[in-house]
Structure 1
């Protein structure tokens, strides 16, 4: 019986020692802050007329459900984000990220109604005013650009840090979340759209970190972020709804501070 008791205690101790490496895998929680430039892709805006637009003396009626589209090019913008995460000694990291980006409109072009390009038509076709040779064309009005798009998203990310045996660690990651897109289009200071919409979004990341100390590291990162659906934005100039694309590349740098752990 004494021998059995000793054997049992020895087995228990061995199991406890075997569990120690697993418990030591956790490297601990961290917080991070980063900022950089946002490089938005052009938006192929597309939607439709929601209600019939009556005819005028100069222009014909536009029926409900008529397709509406144009292209928007954006300026380079900025991006900031904050992260709260947990790192493991096996290279995995999980984190929650809040991300914000903003960029201005460079120009709009190629406005089509019912598949017909109307850039060379009198801009009164949109305002339903009187046609006049002195009026600018649709293309001239929208080419002025003006406006901005801002995005706020919450993401759950998973990363894998590639161990190099040094303070330098490349990494890759991916995230899923939800993003709100706020659109303001005001070409030639004419309000065309000013609203927001949200949808699910995803992001893919690659970067590298450098450990300054056991608790602090710097990192640089490339992120590609996009929504899974266009933002449906009701227009203010016309009774129409426009789908606006939101996809962007982000180049950023930041700092992470670890708490506790090994």
Structure 2
């Protein structure tokens, strides 16, 4: 009986909270901070050899311009951000945001050279060492993962807060900016690529805020963030450049402080 009563109180409490009259946040400037989890999508890395790889007694040459690629799976990471903006009486907000996210590599797979999967080949085909039955395969070496990707972005955002007549306000938004992507790929501890590149980025946001007072509110937000181009990363193990994707979903929570107009 007690459990049934408790369960019935939960939706009633939620309705009561939403019905609390708005504390009438002041229009004008505000600042905020947020943090949460980054959920990166897998990266379909694609690039090409920048120079010829000479032939060896065991392996043929790889000409410059030959396509190279593999897939990378990432672990869940973290994201933090800082915001400064201005809220208008008509529900719109303009905002500048600094955003950082980081996540580890889980594994690499499906290495192709010239469109041919070489996961089952002797790893010496890449290192150009002598072929040996005792050598691990390419797939064995890269499956180990290791490494991380970090992203630092500067965005200009526009939001629209939907007035509900209560302290609870859903909102939607979008932003454009520039993001630096730092890639460290080190499968099995072998430095394959460790560099960074910058490119234009965009994001789409949806969330809800709850007013605590006439100068403070908490919020929860979902963000989809992506770049307009892949980050081009020169490889250290091979004379090649690889394009790395950095699409990610971010689920965050934070607090904003308003200063009035």
Q: Name the TM-score, length of structure 2 as normaliser.
A: 0.90
Q: Any idea what SS the aligned residue of 1:200 has? A: strand
Measured against aligned partners, the alpha-carbon deviations of 1:45-85 in whole angstroms (never above 9, x if no partner) come to 00000000000111110000000000000000000000000
Deviation per residue, 1:25-63 (Å, 9 max, x gap): x80100000000000000000000000000011111000
Q: Deviations over 1:119-166 (max 9, x none)?
A: 000001110011111110000000000000000000000000000001
The residue number in structure 2 matching 1:142 is 142
d(CA) in 2 for partners of 1:246, 1:146? 17
Matches within 5 A, 1:87-102: 87-102=87-102
1:89 is paired with a residue whose SS is coil
SS in 2 for 1:93: strand
Distance in 2 between residues matched to 1:124 and 1:214, nearest whole Å: 66
3-state SS of 1:141 partner: helix
Q: Bigger radius of gyration, 1 or 2?
A: 1
1:30-45 aligned at under 5 Å gives the runs 30-45=30-45
SS of residue matched to 2:27: strand
Unaligned runs of 5+ in 1: 1-25
TM-score by length of 1: 0.90
Please name the residue that 1:5 is paired with.
Answer: none
Separation in 2, partners of 1:219, 1:32: 10
Show the counterpart of 1:187. 187
Q: Which runs of 4+ in 1 moved over 6 A?
A: none
Aligned partner of 1:217 in structure 2 is: 217
Q: How many residues align?
A: 237
In the alignment, the residues of structure 1 paired with residue 75 and residue 135 of structure 2 have an alpha-carbon distance, to the nearest angstrom, of: 28
> In structure 1, what is the equivalent of residue 107 of structure 2?
107
1:238 aligns with 2:238: yes
Matches within 5 A, 1:11-90: 27-90=27-90
Aligned position for 1:123: 123
